[in-house]
Structure 1
């Protein structure tokens, strides 16, 4: 068990460095872009952290970093429920990118590498970390309802951000193209996807729970 704990902490530390490093580079790239457009570096930071991908990779970096430092010791960030919520969010980042966003932008060099880290590498690695190292059998069926708070708040924020700036961050939330009815319908569909995947993760958690002696 001690060896497994060390391996889990090492794995979590590697994910924290990848996610945190990817976020830092992404923020610097966005700042460079907005400064070239005559806007401020602070404005670039706001733009970068308005993306669900950047916010969620930041969350994963924090949770994974806490797990690397503390292992399975009890704290809010290391609880199975918290780690499962983070896994849910980052897996959705990877799925939405693969299904709806791949190929929408021409990228190369560092920009492409950072994009792959945030959208592909971190979602896969943290999903594997959750599967292999997060204690199982501690989640209730109501937990996915609580996990909806973060994406629901983001849906609201993205619509407010778009209304204030005239710039919508994702094509499925673009009110100028879809209207509020279409954008809200897409938001509700995405939240339903979060709920469905959350329930799947709870089912997997229960299936992998240690068997109790009869």
Structure 2
């Protein structure tokens, strides 16, 4: 990775970790205000796909900056993993802005944290993906493998909800909707994941072809 892209990744990573730290602080504070513990606040924090995906994105950006100094870096810097992260952060922003934003009105630092994880990081990460991630090796078959992450989260939510009775998103609330409707909702969201993933692979392969042609023209 060239130096300008590494600097860009560093700034984006720092912003991502800052937004996550703010979200964690508010999660713990609000849980304690309601009589819970800091550990329960952490558990609540880790229940949201938004948080888990922002952790993934911040981890990818950090790995891009640090290189091989982390054991996870070789995995996180794979083009397929970085593209799967792009797929997920796009869906995070789309679902929040289309379905969830109107459900609450954060203010102050909570608004700052909200904008970072739902708006700023998706845009910054997509810019990083477009500029810095090599895409010549992306394959259509990877799209299905990438769905293991949102599918795993879906079963994680169902398990958590069965134990605690709490569901992070209205369209996954089994208590209100029942399992059949939640499954239908999940299939619809999964279809959106697949569409976004296919679009990213198509864009990535097109960009890689353009770069190869440009190099050939200069030869």
Question: Please, what TM-score do these two structures have when normalized by structure 1?
Answer: 0.93
Q: For 1:46-74, what per-residue CA distance to the aligned partner results, in whole angstroms no more than 9, with x for missing partners? A: 00011111111111111100101229xx8
Q: For 1:82-108, what per-residue CA distance to the aligned partner results, in whole angstroms no more than 9, with x for missing partners? A: 111111111111111111111211210
Aligned-pair CA distance for 1:211:
2.4
| Partner SS for 2:136 | coil
Partner of 1:211: 212
Does residue 1:52 correspond to 2:53, yes or no? no
Aligned-pair CA distance for 1:160:
1.6
Q: How does 1:21-32 map to 2 (within 5 A)?
A: 21-32=18-29
Does residue 1:18 correspond to 2:33, yes or no? no
CA distance in 1, matches of 2:77, 2:105: 38
Contact conserved, 1:8 with 1:68, CA < 8 A, in 2? no
| Partner SS for 2:76 | coil
Partner of 1:146: 145
Q: For 1:141-193, what per-residue CA distance to the aligned partner results, in whole angstroms no more than 9, with x for missing partners? A: 10111111111010111112122212211011011221100111111111111
**Aligned residues, how many?**
209
CA distance in 1, matches of 2:146, 2:11: 25
| Partner SS for 1:103 | helix
CA distance in 1, matches of 2:90, 2:12: 14
Q: How does 1:74-153 map to 2 (within 5 A)?
A: 75-153=74-152
Q: For 1:105-146, what per-residue CA distance to the aligned partner results, in whole angstroms no more than 9, with x for missing partners? A: 121001111000000000011011111111122101101111
Q: After TM superposition, where is structure 1 displaced by more than 6 Å over at least 4 residues in a row? A: none
Question: Please, what TM-score do these two structures have when normalized by structure 2?
Answer: 0.91
CA distance in 1, matches of 2:40, 2:75: 32
CA distance in 1, matches of 2:202, 2:36: 47
CA distance in 1, matches of 2:65, 2:92: 22
Contact conserved, 1:9 with 1:69, CA < 8 A, in 2? no
CA distance in 2, matches of 1:142, 1:85: 12
Q: CA RMSD for the aligned pairs? A: 1.6
Contact conserved, 1:26 with 1:114, CA < 8 A, in 2? yes
Q: Which runs of 5+ in 2 are unaligned?
A: none
Partner of 1:195: 194
Q: Which runs of 5+ in 1 are unaligned?
A: none
